[in-house]
A and B are shown apart, each in its own frame.
Chain A
Amino acid sequence: MRWIPALTAPLALIVTVPAAAAVYFTTEQAQQAMFPGASFAQVPLQLTDQQRRTMYDRSGVHEPFKSDRVWRVSTGGYFVIDEVVGKHERIKYAVAIGSDGAIKQIEIMEYRESYGYEVRELSWRQQFVGKSASSPLKLDGDIKNIGGATLSCKHITDGVKRVLAMYEVALRHSS
């Protein structure tokens, strides 16, 4: 078989394209960005099967929720880290919940997708501020979609809804 050298060019390109990390916040950086000057105490949270089922029923998110990433904030409220499925890897984000149970802020901590970086823009994240467990939190409903970033928008929206469901079933009455 006669090989055509030109056809090997794309493979050479793949090897030479550098990878880029996209870690925007460590845990400590996110905590201080969302609750400046506060101290944080990790919550020894152990979710029951019933609580996890409620979280799934409300959000539809299958990705397991890691309950060891919840902190009580000295100035009131909670700081929660969660992950949802992205196009290629998982998207790591943080949610700041105020003492009234409403979202104070969300931040994208790690994002390694080819596109959809618009979810980091303040205008999109700002839509979540003030939302609570009783909010619809539905893409193309009370949360606007970003064309070309639909998968990320959808999964982050569902993820935040799950975090609020977790707050409702496990944290609200322990405050």
Chain B
Amino acid sequence: MNRYCARLVNALLTLATVLLVAVPARAGEGPFAFIYTLDLQPKGTFQFEQWEYLQAGQSQGDYLFLTNRSEIEYGFKNWFQIGLYINTEYTYAYQNGVDGTTGGPGTNIDPNSDPFSPYSSFRFKSISFENIVRLMNPYTDAFGFGLYFEPAIGPYGYELEWKFLFQKNFLDDRLVLAANIVLETEQEWRSGTTEYASVIDTIIGASYRFADKWSLGVEARNHREFSGQAFNSPEHSAYFIGPTIHYSSEKWWATLGWRHQLPWTQAFNDDQQSVIVNGQIFGGEHAGDEIMLRVGIPFKLPWR
């Protein structure tokens, strides 16, 4: 991580600190770790949100890939929320590849270096701009429906992400069923090459508020990756599932989720097949486990 990036992250956190100690809190948050719901920030309110997304474990060796997202969200309208993220990454890998070499998602290894030596890096990844429009409200309409669009750009590539958000509540809104269909197209510059990819993710989940402030749920993901930026030809399809626990109060909330990669991966070419071990795909694509911690602290500007 260079000095400029460190200053940028610290400046954002300092800004959040100043705002948070000065004003009363307001909030809008969903009970899932990975799934977006249609609980948006009320008009004129802000929220600071920190994501810590850890991908851990490949077929052998050591592998950790931590994505940090620091975000300020703002309710532009009651039905329209915007957000600005700063994304950074920490990666540690050591002889984790199927062939015993060092690599994996998040690594940016010089092709001329020793492929068996340990690798670690902390780097600024990108800035992204989130937009969520709620077209149907799950509290007043038959079900909730919304659209999400997020462009991201940084020194190692760019991404465009679209999501279709669905939500249906039951039992006095204690039980939340939600689904996201995610379309993503990206261009990544690493290890001296440019990679083009596109992704279709389908994420579904259920969460139940079993006590005041506490919800427990489950989230499942099917991830389908394609070569090229226009969903050109399928590369692989992988499945993840795991539990989520959510705590929320007037002043802050936190959600912890874990997804494990199931041994059901399908590869659609020889390259992808070569990095599948016991039904799980690794290589430059995935880890065995995904852990997400999200913490949200709503706030309101003191002069509003």
Residues of B within 8 Å of A18, CB to CB, are 251
Complex contact B251–A4 (CB within 8 A): no
Binds A, one of B169-177, B181-189, B276-284: B169-177
Residues of A within 8 Å of B24, CB to CB, are 20
Per the bound structure, the CA–CA distance linking A1 and B295 in Å amounts to 22
B158 lies within 8 A of chain A by Cβ? no
B116-172 at interface with A (beta carbon < 8 Å): 120, 122, 137, 139-140, 171-172
A88-B140 contact, Cβ under 8 Å, with A114-B251, A147-B42: no
B78 lies within 8 A of chain A by Cβ? yes
Binds B, one of A35-43, A73-81, A101-109, A150-158: A150-158
Complex contact B17–A114 (CB within 8 A): no
Pair count A-B, CB < 8 A: 111
Residues of B within 8 Å of A151, CB to CB, are 139, 173
Of the candidates A10, A20, A84, A113, which one forms a contact with B16 in the assembled complex, judged by CB atoms under 8 Å apart? A10
Complex contact A114–B26 (CB within 8 A): yes
B234-279 at interface with A (beta carbon < 8 Å): 248-252, 254
The residue of chain A having its C-beta at the shortest distance from the C-beta of B1 within the complex is A4
A1-59 at interface with B (beta carbon < 8 Å): 1-2, 4, 6-7, 9-11, 13-14, 16-20, 22
Per the bound structure, the CA–CA distance linking A4 and B68 in Å amounts to 11
Per the bound structure, the CA–CA distance linking A19 and B251 in Å amounts to 7
Q: Is the interface of A mostly helix, strand, loop or mixed?
A: loop
How many chain A residues have a CB neighbour from B under 8 Å? 39
Of the candidates B137, B212, B249, which one forms a contact with A150 in the assembled complex, judged by CB atoms under 8 Å apart? B137
Complex contact A14–B252 (CB within 8 A): yes
The residue of chain B having its C-beta at the shortest distance from the C-beta of A63 within the complex is B172
Residues of B within 8 Å of A149, CB to CB, are 42
A170 lies within 8 A of chain B by Cβ? no
Q: Which of A84, A115, A149 has the largest number of chain B CB atoms within 10 A? A: A115
A140 lies within 8 A of chain B by Cβ? yes
B90 lies within 8 A of chain A by Cβ? yes
